[in-house]
């Protein structure tokens, strides 16, 4: 979370103020989701995310509950019509999507990066897309394996008319999105948006209204859209925090750039700093192919893994936290989301240099 956002939330924790500085006399947590105060928070958040991501008018923006994993069920419940869907498996998260879809429809493994232990993305020319797939699912940033799509596949150019579904949970708002290639995007909040509890879903209008009969009403995209994300009580505090993050993002500047474009520049610089250091080291390494290295999640390994515990202990003492890699991959992982300033990445590199020296 950006520090400024946490500080603002703390300052108005017990008494929210509107844009004109007028106190509401209550915490956002105490507001009715249908009251004018929360409606104004909601409408501003929705307008800001539409502006930040340049979401076209024929897409609906939904704020839902359930997180990224629930969307692995909600997407097939709404879009699959119980038929075939294509899934490209590029790491743990798309693997989970593939497995979950089989409860509601027939997922087809269109391509997988398993043969390289998810250190490469399968080339689109090799994707075996089904003729009748209802959609094609990809995870555009694999958080655990550190693999990112740096451009979205053009399904039409591959002879496929199905809509593209993207799980952009772990790099949402870190870069722009080419909506001409997307049918639906979903993302949990807890990386670049705000605290866990709200899921952002951006869906092309023509995809609404085809849910399976068994789809729970609260998870039916059309019902949610028709009710302005208020069919059930939305996660109000998470939406408020997301709104503060959107405002923070709108304030970001890099030269002439602002908002997500400025953020993207900073993310490129942060990732370059860390990857360049790793590539010039024989003490540390990153195994992901250069063309699909994630700007958000950088898994790295010590050549001598017996030093892992000492590395983590020293890192903690230096104020560098949460660096242990996911148990399925091992090693280390630096998650350098939007809110991590370049100074944080520089501090990590400085520590890594010092640790290497201390081990000589
Ligand atoms: C890319 C991706 N998809 C899905 C999820 C699952 O999100 P949740 O735990 O909110 O269900 C995560 C969580 O880290 C993720 O990184």
Q: pLDDT tens digit string along 242-283?
A: 999 999 999 999 999 999 999 999 999 999 999 999 999 999
Same fold, 3-250 and 254-358: no
Q: How many CB atoms lie within 10 A of CB 39?
A: 15
Torsion of CA 72, 336, 181, 101, to 10 degrees: -10
Report the nearest-CA residue for atom 13 of ligand 1.
68
Write out pLDDT tens, residues 218-228: 999 999 999 99
Distance 309 CA to ligand 1 centre (A): 26
Whose alpha carbon is nearest atom 7 of ligand 1? 68
- This prediction has a pTM of 0.98
Nearest CA to ligand 1 atom 5: 68
Q: Is 67 in the pocket of ligand 1 (CB under 6 A)?
A: yes
CA 164–ligand 1 middle distance (angstroms): 18
3-state SS record for 168-216: CCCCCCCCCCCHHHCCEEEEECCCCCCCCCCEEEEEEHHHCCCCCCCCC
Tokens of 3: 């520090």
Query: 254-358, what's its fold?
Result: 3.90.1150
Q: Please report the pLDDT score of residue 84 as a whole number.
A: 98
Average pLDDT over residues 313-336: 97
Q: What is the mean pLDDT of residues 323-348?
A: 97
93 is a catalytic site residue: yes
pLDDT at 290 over 90: yes
pLDDT band at 360 (very low <50, low <70, confident <90, very high): confident
Instruction: Provide the β-strand partners of residue 141.
Output: 148
Which ligand 1 atom lies nearest to the CA of residue 196? Answer: 10
3-state secondary structure of 318: coil
Cβ distance 98 to 69 under 8 Å?
no
The CATH code belonging to domain 3-250 is: 3.40.640.10
Q: Is the pLDDT of residue 18 over 90?
A: yes
- Compute the distance from residue 152 Cα to the ligand 1 centre, in Å: 19
CA distances, 308 to each of 24, 85, 277, 318, 345 (Å): 50, 41, 18, 15, 19
Percent of the chain with pLDDT over 70: 100
State which H helix or E strand residue 37 sits in: helix 36-52
- Domain positions in the chain: 3-250, 254-358
What pLDDT sits at residue 147?
98
**Is 146 in a helix, a strand, or coil?**
coil
pLDDT tens digit sequence for 109-158: 999 999 999 999 999 999 999 999 999 999 999 999 999 999 999 999 99
Reduced to 3 states (helix: H, G, I; strand: E, B; else coil), residue 350 is helix
State if residue 167 touches ligand 1 by the CB under 6 angstroms criterion.
yes
Average pLDDT over residues 34-43: 97
Give 3-state DSSP helix, strand, coil % of the chain, rounded to 5: 40, 15, 40
Catalytic residue among 167, 222, 248, 287: 167
Mean pLDDT rounded to a whole number for the chain = 97
Look at residue 325 in the predicted model and tell me its pLDDT: 96
What are the pLDDT digits (tens) for 47-80? 999 999 999 999 999 999 999 999 999 999 999 9
């Amino acid at each position: 979370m950006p520090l400024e956002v946490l500080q603002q939330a703390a300052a108005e924790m017990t008494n929210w103020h509107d844009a004109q500085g007028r106190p509401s006399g209550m915490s956002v947590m105490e507001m009715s989701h249908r009251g004018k105060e929360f409606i104004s928070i909601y409408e501003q958040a929705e307008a800001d995310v539409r502006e930040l991501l340049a979401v076209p008018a024929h897409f609906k923006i939904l704020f839902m509950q359930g997180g990224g994993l629930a969307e692995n069920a909600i997407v097939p419940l709404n879009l699959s019509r119980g038929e075939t869907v294509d899934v490209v498996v590029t790491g743990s998260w798309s693997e989970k999507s593939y497995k979950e879809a089989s409860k509601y429809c027939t997922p087809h493994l269109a391509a997988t990066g398993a043969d390289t232990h998810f250190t490469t993305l399968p080339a689109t020319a090799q994707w075996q897309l089904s003729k009748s797939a209802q959609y094609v699912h990809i995870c555009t940033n694999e958080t655990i394996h550190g693999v990112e799509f740096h451009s979205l596949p053009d399904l039409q150019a591959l002879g496929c008319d199905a809509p593209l579904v993207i799980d952009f949970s772990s790099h949402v708002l870190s870069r722009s999105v080419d909506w001409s290639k997307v049918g639906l995007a979903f993302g949990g909040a807890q990386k670049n948006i705000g605290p866990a509890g709200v899921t952002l879903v951006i869906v092309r209008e023509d995809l609404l209204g085809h849910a399976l009969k068994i789809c729970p009403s609260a998870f039916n995209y059309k019902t949610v859209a028709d009710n302005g994300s208020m069919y059930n009580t939305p996660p109000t505090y998470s939406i408020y925090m997301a709104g503060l993050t959107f405002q923070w993002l709108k304030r970001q500047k890099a030269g002439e750039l602002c908002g997500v474009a400025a953020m993207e520049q900073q993310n490129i610089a942060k990732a370059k700093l860390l990857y360049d250091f790793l590539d010039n080291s024989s003490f540390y390494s990153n195994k992901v192919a250069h063309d699909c290295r994630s700007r958000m999640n950088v898994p790295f390994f010590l050549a001598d893994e017996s030093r892992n515990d000492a590395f983590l202990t020293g890192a903690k003492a230096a104020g560098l936290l949460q660096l242990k890699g996911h148990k399925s991959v091992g090693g280390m992982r630096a998650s350098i989301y939007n809110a991590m300033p370049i100074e944080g990445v520089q501090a990590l590199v400085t520590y890594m240099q010092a640790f290497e020296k201390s081990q000589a």
